[in-house]
Amino acid sequence: VPSGIVDGMYNEYIGNAESPAQVRDGLLQAMGDISIVFSSIEVAKYHRDAGSPVYFYEFQHRPSAAEGVLPKFVKADHGAEIAFVFGKPFLAGDV
């Protein structure tokens, strides 16, 4: 990996960190972008180029069910929006 890319990524995600928590948050953001966001943008471009409408969103609402289960710095995990879109009974098998 060219050093310019590494320097750019460091500056983007961690460069201004003033605490270990900010370093953690920057690393988590970088890992999420690399593993989910970048590939999602690529797929969205393919759909757009094929003439399909594309909608892209980032869900960040922390579910109340996360209280006491997830660390405070976790806003919403992958798939957390499902309960808000379809309703919790759908996930609990009550339907």
SS3 per residue for the chain: CCHHHHHHHHHHHCCCCCCHHHHHHHHHHHHHHHHHHHHHHHHHHHHHHCCCCCCCCCCCCCCHHHCCCCCCCCCCCCCCCHHHHHCHHHHHCCC
Q: Which is more confidently placed, 30 or 5?
A: 30
Residue from 65, 67, 95, 60 nearest 81 by CA: 60
Which two three-digit tokens encode residue 81? 């929006």
pLDDT band at 53 (very low <50, low <70, confident <90, very high): very high
Residues 12 and 36 in one domain: yes
Q: What is the pLDDT of residue 54?
A: 94
Residues 70 and 37 in one domain: no
Residues 37 and 64 in one domain: no
Chain segment 79-94, per-residue pLDDT in tens = 888 888 887 665 555 5
pTM: 0.64
Average pLDDT, the chain: 85
- Average pLDDT of the segment spanning 12-35: 91
Domain that holds residue 77: 57-94
Rounded-to-integer distance, Cα 15 and Cα 31, Å: 16
